[in-house]
Structure 1
Amino acid sequence: MNVLLIGSGGREHALAWKLSASPLLGKLYAAPGNPGIAREAEIAALDAEDHGAVASFCKEKDIGLVVVGPEAPLVAGLSDHLRAAGIRVFGPSQAAARLEGSKGFTKDLCARFAIPTAAYGRFQNAEDAKDYARARGAPIVVKADGLAAGKGVTVATTLDEALAAIDACFDGAFGGAGAEVVVEEFLTGEEVSFFCLCDGRTALPFGSAQDHKRVGDGDTGPNTGGMGAYSPAPVMTPAMSERVMREIVEPTMRGMAELGSPFSGVLFAGLMITADGPKLIEYNVRFGDPECQVLMMRLKDDLLILLNAAADGQLAHMSARWYAEAALTVVMAAKGYPGAVERGSVIGGLDRVPEGVELFHAGTSERDGRIVANGGRVLSVTATGRTVTEAQARAYAAIDTIDWPEGFCRRDIGFRAVEREKSERGA
């Protein structure tokens, strides 16, 4: 089977790496790809925004399945266009992708179908949003309603910070994504990413991870797209996973079907495990980045078989098996991220990364035979180990072999799990 993978980040490199191991795979194409993905796939000069061109390419290359990595093409309706052309797709319809494309839509879905989440208000002007924030007080969370590349959320510790975040949204800091704002209750607990593969009727649990959104060690500084992650998440015990499925995922699947938008693809639930149990923070409709990197390292089964089953509505007959080892990934980013960054700096030493550590490319390009930085988050250095502590040590040892003065990373990815493991050893 020939497969077309849409996307160019670390998530897509991890997917390409895993898909390329499938004996079912004929030829793997990727658009637009990156230098790392090019080692696993043939790069296709396609613009994912040109749905007609993508469909024509699929017909020409006899593509049996299109795997859409990032959220923007899904929210823009690429899956619908391809399905209408008779092309099989792994990824939700445009209507189902509203779960990520509109935070207000998801909050209203939660209210309608009794899915536990934070109290909230939806607003189309700054003054009403500010009145709500003043009434609730800080800490409080301000979210741009639409897609904002992971940067449209402010966890405000003071009221002034919340009011400034509301103004920023309505003043265009996130473009059209901030035309509507959700202001919601601040939840206390442990945050976790929980994934399911879905086929419109069945949701198959597909692993957990914990990521690190803030740019600095100790979870300090502004939010980013993600500075690292590890899997599995210790807080997601079998009992907690069962509760999340029963209270959050299954009502969502029923609700979307009732609304006429059955969900097929990856359902990524960002959760807060509170003293009262799990609550939904937000949904994403694709694999997380960098969570995908650690999930792919731990997945024992053939990914292509599972994605085909989801596309064909056959997940009720499937299961997903995992290696017992932990996986941990550290994102290397260009200095200045999540703000403005300089592109073009040369990254050396990549051939010195130890065997067994996977180097997933995100914001890279190739110039004169050398790998250069071409974005904010540039590399995901990913390792496994018997424990998170061991995986962390292997990942940072690999990072120390890379020569890139213009880059940086957090040095504490996985610190909560490492502390938990240390405590358990001392008990």
Structure 2
Amino acid sequence: MKVLVIGGGGREHALCWKLKRSPSVNEVVCAPGNPGIKRDARCVDISVEDIDGLMKLAADEKPDLVVIGPEVPLVAGLGNRLRDEGFAVFGPDKAAANLEGSKSFSKRLMYEAGVPTARFEVHVDVNEAVDTIRSWGAPIVIKASGLAAGKGVIVARTEKEAIDAARDMLAGNSFGDAGSQVIIEECLVGEEASCLFIVSGDTILPLASSQDHKALLDGDKGPNTGGMGAYSPAPCVTDEVADEVLETIARPIIAALKKKGAEFIGTLYAGVMLTDDGVKTLEFNVRFGDPECQPLMSRLKSDLGEVLLAAAERRLDGVQLEWEAGTALCVVVTSDGYPGNFDKGQVIGGLDDMEAAGALVFHAGTAEKDGMIVNSGGRVLGVTAVAQSVSQAQRVVYTALEKLDWPGGFYRRDIGYRAVAREESRD
């Protein structure tokens, strides 16, 4: 079959890479794609925000399946329009995508559905937000309600930091319209994990567990980012934890959406915190996580095209997933200065040498200039490896990264450290 993938980041590179290797797939088209994706798909330069352009592309290409990678076109209703034209689509409609598009909607739906989550309040008035912050005290979490590319969350250690963040968001300085509402949450303590599911109506198929490192600096310090690295599986997600997430989080939220007339077809991402009081939900996304998608696709043995088409055609029931043994680990290389300001157009060398050292190099924020690969975004590369253990996968990736020739690149040196510590404690 022919598959059209929408998006141009590291997640979409991993999806295109896996789809190209799926026996059921004979052609992959990607819009807009990136220089790395060009090795695995035919790229067409149409922005993910150009909904009319993407509709015309689908009409011209006539794909058997459309896979919508990022949240922006999902929230804009691309899934609705494609289904209205008769396409098989993997990605939720606009009403279901609101689960990610509006954190205030998501938190209220969690409350209605009885999904365990942190105590919260929604504010549009800065004075009321400040009163809540002073009443609750710090540490406290401030979130922009709208889409903010994974960066709209401030874990404030002091009341002043929280008040400054809320004021900045509500004034429109930090995240524009995304911050016109802010969520104030209690700060949960525990270990964070990512639990993803392929959903098709009432059928919910768990993916392997993973863990993302969202903080910029080693030791999970510094500002939140879209993700600095991830690995799969996550040892903290035991079979018991996985069952708890499925039964107390995934099933209730999908049922609650259905009650509102929103049938979910696509990937449900539950970011969870393993607390002393049980598993609690941090956030929902309505697509594959980035960078979690990179290690997940690296470990998946099943035919991805068949699985996603089965979900799109509402025949997912009975589908089983097979995974490679061992661990996949991905380290994200960013432009120095991310998540703040950074320079673009810097030449990136050593990519072939990293792959020769045993790593998969997934492109995210890259572009081509004068025949060279240059950085064009904040998160630029996802350097990934699969090995028998997390420590071995970590070693392969960081050895490969020694070949990277890009002085303007930055990456954490400790991705997977919790899992490595668990391994060492068992030895």
Structure 1 gaps of 5+ residues are none
Task: State the alpha-carbon separation in 2 of the partners of residues 375 and 112 from structure 1.
Answer: 38
CA apart distance, 1:392: 0.2
Q: Which runs of 5+ in 2 are unaligned?
A: none
Structure 2 partner of 1:194: 195
Name the structure 1 match of 2:171.
Answer: 171
Structure 1 residue 52 displacement after superposition? 2.9
Distance in 2 (CA, whole Å) between partners of 1:332 and 1:364 is 11
TM-aligned CA deviation for residue 256 of structure 1:
0.7
Which residue of 2 is the match for residue 295 of structure 1? 296
- How many Å separate the matches in 1 of 2:227 and 2:45? 28
Deviation at residue 51 of structure 1 after TM alignment: 2.5
What residue is the counterpart of 1:105 in the other structure?
Answer: 105
The one-character-per-residue Cα deviations of 1:381-402 (angstroms, maximum 9, x if unpaired) are 0011111100000000000011
5 Å matches for 1:224-239? 224-239=225-240
Taking the aligned partners of 1:312 and 1:16, their CA distance within structure 2 comes to 20
The alpha-carbon deviation at position 133 of structure 1 amounts to 1.4
Query: Quick check: 2:300–2:322 contact (8 Å CA) kept in 1?
Result: yes
Deviation of residue 357 (structure 1)? 1.5
The offset of 1:20, in angstroms, is 0.3
Q: Which residue of 1 aligns with 2:17?
A: 17
2:50 match: 50
**1:59: how far off?**
2.2
Counterpart Cα distance in 1 of 2:359 and 2:5: 23
Contact 2:385 2:393 (8 Å CA) reproduced: yes
| Aligned-pair CA distance for 1:94 | 0.4
TM-score by length of structure 2 reads: 0.98
> 3-state DSSP class of the match of 2:108?
helix
Q: TM-score, normalised by structure 1?
A: 0.98
Residue by residue over 1:2-30, the C-alpha shift from the partner in whole angstroms, topping out at 9 and shown as x without a partner, is 11111111111000000001122132111
Alignment pair present for 1:405 and 2:402: no
Q: Is the 8 A contact 1:201 1:313 kept in 2?
A: no
Alignment of 1:294-333 (within 5 A): 294-333=295-334
Aligned counterpart in structure 1 of residue 374 of structure 2, from 368, 372, 381: 372
Cα deviation for residue 356 of structure 1 reads 3.7
| Secondary structure of 1:317's aligned partner | coil
- CA distance in structure 2 between the aligned counterparts of 1:237 and 1:6, rounded to whole angstroms: 33
**Matches of 2:16 and 2:155, distance apart in 1:** 34
**Retained in 1: the 8 A contact 2:358–2:396?**
no
Distance 2:25 2:4 in 1: 11
Q: 1:388 aligns with which of 390, 397, 400?
A: 390
Q: How many residues align?
A: 425
Cα distance, 1:355 vs. partner?
A: 5.3
Looking at structure 2, the residues matched to 55 and 230 of structure 1 have their Cα atoms a distance apart, in angstroms, of 35
Residue aligned with 1:249, SS: helix
Q: Do the aligned partners of 2:196 and 2:270 also contact (CA within 8 Å) in 1?
A: yes
| 3-state SS of 1:67 partner | strand
For the residue of structure 2 that corresponds to 1:95, the secondary structure is: helix
* RMSD (CA atoms): 1.0
Partner of 2:94: 94
Matched, 1:135 2:172: no
Secondary structure of 1:338's match? coil
Aligned to 1:39: 39
Aligned-partner residue type, residue 160 of structure 2: D
In the alignment, residue 86 of structure 1 is paired with which amino acid? G
Q: Distance in 2 between matches of 1:197 and 1:355?
A: 33
Partner Cα distance (1:241, 1:23) in 2 = 30
How far the C-alpha of 1:370 sits from its partner, in A, is 1.3
**Which one is further off, 348-357 or 70-79?**
348-357
Instruction: Kindly indicate whether the alpha-carbon contact (under 8 Å) linking 1:55 and 1:85 is maintained by their aligned counterparts in 2.
Output: no
Who is 2:85 aligned against? Answer: 85
Q: How far 1:205 moved relative to its partner?
A: 0.3
Q: Distance in 2 between matches of 1:63 and 1:54?
A: 12
